[in-house]
């Protein structure tokens, strides 16, 4: 263990006190943790109270100075206690055959007496590196086991027991092991990406990448670069080659979120890539084959958009071999307490708050609210209430902000007016008012396209 080599915690057991002292003087120059022991019977105690990177074990003790039986016995005891222990045997010149046998029985290496200092240090250094490798492998095994447990736990991150969410679980089970393209439909905040990840984790591609793309955040000019990649110099800001999302997801799952926001020209480019199963980087001439499992999601009414000629019918056929409709939170009322408890534990821990429960009045308030923002809104509500609370549980007044008059809130649901046209007119009018006449924002809030909203405005004379 010369400078630059490995050092670690070393235990040496030998009944020759002079040998122990000589070894300690040598090893102390290279390691701060050298423990020596004359009596091998103390080995169990030493192993119970500490762990060692390397154990140096003499083969013969005073009771039996030639056969090595004691050495073999203590070697087996050490390995039984710690199968990953790194044991170096100390043996006399005449015991080489015995040492070879010990290697077969689990020892890592052996050192001959009298040893050469440099050789002893090199042997220990190598052994310590081996111990580090064992530790890293053990750590990786534990991480892999935990990951497998997480993956095998059905829908670990999707919380709910309602009939509507159970139907979604059943669909995931049926479709996950296939390579069928999946379209997930649902309002904002219903957990579409969680569903996409659940499909990937339960698929045959779970060892490969899950690559997500927010299609609503990609500009027209960067669409091809983001999805297909580009070559250096292909446009002004292309200072180096870039791998697109299709390539990154090769062999795995590509998740295209908010696909309903794509313009018709971009839909055409996407369709071509999906049909041909190949892409061409911007500025390149050669196409690249890709093998992906496609999962898409949107909060837009894509079937209506096909009728409005704002979404390509052939693209819709391509992406929705199987369609999963996520229920809004207002249709999963029995799941609200489960979700609320889950988020409370999360944020109480995050913000170090001693908030351990939710009062009955608060739970009632949560269930009565209509949650237009769905699970995401509930999550933010619990986070905000947890931060602001001074008690050990959340009370109804901690959710005072939920009484605001918003589109789709419980005020409309509880209305005595059951005329669908009048209810629709009222909701549209409220959306327009809330967004100060901004048609795009109102349409998004209502889950409609601009064209669909304009038709409804004309229908109701608004």
Question: Percent of the chain scored above 90 by pLDDT?
Answer: 46
Highest mean pLDDT among 3-12, 103-112, 338-347, 423-432: 338-347
Q: How many CB atoms lie within 10 A of CB 235?
A: 12
| Residue-level pLDDT at 406 | 44
pLDDT of 65? 53
CATH 1.10.8.60 boundaries in the chain? 331-404
What b-and-e string marks burial along 53-72, b requiring 16 or more CB atoms within 10 Å of the CB? bbbbbbbbbeeeeeebebbb
Please determine, for residue 154, whether its predicted confidence score (pLDDT) is greater than 60.
no
Q: Which tokens is 408 given? A: 């789709």
CB contact at 8 A, 189 and 374: yes
Tokens of 363: 């739970």
User: What whole-number distance in Å separates Cα of residue 404 and Cα of residue 400?
Assistant: 8
**If you average pLDDT over residues 125-146, what whole number do you get?**
78
Residues forming CATH 3.40.50.300 domain(s) in the chain: 163-325
Residues of the chain with CATH 1.10.10.60: 412-459
220: pLDDT strictly greater than 50: yes
The larger pLDDT score, comparing residue 33 to residue 296, is at: 296
Class assignment of domain 412-459? mainly alpha
Write down the architecture of domain 163-325 according to CATH.
3-Layer(aba) Sandwich (3.40)
Strands 288-289 and 293-298: unpaired
The pLDDT score that the predictor gives to residue 417 is 54
Predicted TM-score (pTM) of the model is 0.57
Q: Which residue has the tokens 């580009």?
A: 230
Quote the pLDDT of residue 138. Answer: 76
pLDDT class of 5 with cuts at 50, 70, 90: very low
* Residues sharing a CB contact under 8 Å with residue 345, sequence separation 6 or more, in sequence order: none
CB 238, CB 232: distance < 8 Å: yes
Residue intervals in the chain for CATH 3.40.50.2300: 10-141
* Separation CA 41–CA 26 (nearest Å): 25
Question: Looking at domain 331-404, does it have CATH number 1.10.8.60?
Answer: yes
pLDDT-derived band at 263 (thresholds 50, 70, 90) equals: very high
Check residues 36 and 428 and name the one with the higher pLDDT. Answer: 36
At residue 257, the pLDDT reads 94
Averaged pLDDT of the chain:
85
Report the pLDDT value the prediction gives residue 270, as an integer from 0 to 100.
95
* Of 11-20, 40-49, 68-77, 193-202, minimum mean pLDDT range: 68-77
Cβ count within 10 A of residue 413:
11
Contact 79, 37 (CB under 8 A): no
Residue 40 predicted with pLDDT over 70: yes
Q: Which CATH architecture has domain 10-141?
A: 3-Layer(aba) Sandwich (3.40)
Asked whether residue 371 carries a pLDDT value surpassing 90, the answer given is yes
What is the predicted pLDDT for the residue at 294? 97
Give the mean model confidence (pLDDT) for residues 188-208. 93
Predicted local confidence at residue 267, as pLDDT = 95
**Partners of 394 in beta bridges:** 358
**102 pLDDT more than 80:** no
pLDDT tens profile 394-437: 998 889 888 644 444 434 444 455 566 677 778 888 888 777 77
Contact 318, 275 (CB under 8 A): yes
Q: What is the pLDDT of residue 119?
A: 86
Summarised one tens digit per residue, pLDDT across range 307-354 is 999 999 999 999 999 999 999 999 999 999 999 999 999 999 999 999
The predicted-structure confidence for 229-241, as pLDDT tens digits, reads as follows 998 888 887 888 8
Q: What is the mean pLDDT of residues 194-222?
A: 91
3-state secondary structure of 429: helix
Q: Is the pLDDT of residue 3 over 50?
A: no
- What does the pLDDT read at residue 407? 41
> Is the model's pLDDT at 13 over the cut of 70?
yes
Q: What 8-state DSSP symbol labels residue 208?
A: S
For the chain, the distance separating the N- and C-terminal CA atoms, rounded to the nearest angstrom, is 85
The full length of the chain comes to: 462
Nearest of 361, 399, 367, 369 to residue 382 by alpha carbon: 399
Can you give the pLDDT at residue 403?
A: 60
């Amino acid at each position: 263990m010369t400078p630059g080599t490995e050092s670690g915690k070393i235990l040496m057991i030998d009944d020759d006190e002079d040998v122990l002292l000589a070894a300690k003087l040598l090893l102390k120059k290279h390691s701060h943790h050298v423990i020596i022991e004359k009596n091998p019977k103390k080995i169990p105690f030493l192993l119970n109270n500490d762990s060692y990177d390397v154990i140096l074990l003499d083969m013969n003790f005073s009771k039996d100075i030639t056969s090595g039986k004691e050495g073999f016995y203590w070697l087996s005891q050490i390995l039984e206690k710690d199968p990953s222990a790194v044991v170096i045997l100390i043996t006399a010149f005449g015991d080489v055959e015995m040492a070879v046998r010990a290697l077969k029985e689990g020892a890592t290496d052996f050192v001959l007496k009298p040893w050469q200092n440099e050789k002893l240090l090199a042997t220990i250094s190598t052994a310590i590196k081996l111990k580090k490798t064992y530790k890293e492998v053990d750590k990786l095994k534990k991480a892999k086991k935990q990951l497998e447990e997480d993956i095998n736990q059905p829908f670990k991150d999707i919380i709910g027991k309602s009939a509507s969410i159970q139907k979604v679980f059943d669909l995931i089970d049926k479709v996950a092991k296939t390579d069928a393209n999946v379209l997930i439909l649902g309002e904002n905040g219903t957990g579409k990406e969680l569903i996409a990840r659940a499909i990937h984790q339960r698929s045959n591609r779970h060892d490969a990448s899950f690559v997500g793309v927010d299609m609503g955040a990609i500009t027209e000019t960067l669409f091809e670069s983001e999805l297909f990649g580009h070559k250096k110099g292909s446009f002004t800001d292309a200072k180096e080659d870039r791998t697109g999302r299709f390539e990154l997801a090769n062999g795995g799952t590509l998740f295209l979120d908010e696909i309903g926001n794509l313009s018709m020209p971009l839909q055409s480019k996407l369709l071509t890539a999906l049909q041909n199963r190949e892409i061409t980087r911007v500025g390149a001439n050669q196409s690249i084959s890709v093998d992906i499992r496609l999962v898409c999601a949107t909060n837009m009414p894509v079937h209506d958009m096909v009728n409005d000629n704002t979404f390509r019918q052939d693209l819709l056929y391509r992406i929705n071999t199987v369609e999963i409709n996520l229920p809004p939170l207002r249709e999963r009322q029995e799941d609200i307490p489960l979700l609320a408890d889950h988020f409370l534990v999360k944020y109480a821990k995050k913000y170090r708050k001693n908030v351990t429960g939710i009062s009955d009045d608060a739970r009632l308030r949560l269930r009565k609210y209509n949650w237009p923002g769905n699970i995401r809104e509930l999550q933010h509500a619990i986070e905000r209430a947890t931060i602001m609370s001074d008690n050990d549980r959340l009370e109804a007044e901690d959710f005072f902000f939920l009484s605001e008059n918003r589109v789709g809130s419980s005020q409309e649901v509880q209305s005595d007016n059951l005329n669908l046209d009048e209810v629709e007119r009222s909701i549209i009018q409220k959306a327009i008012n809330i967004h100060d006449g901004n048609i795009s924002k109102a349409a998004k809030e209502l889950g409609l396209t601009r064209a669909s909203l304009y038709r409804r405005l004309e229908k109701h004379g608004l």
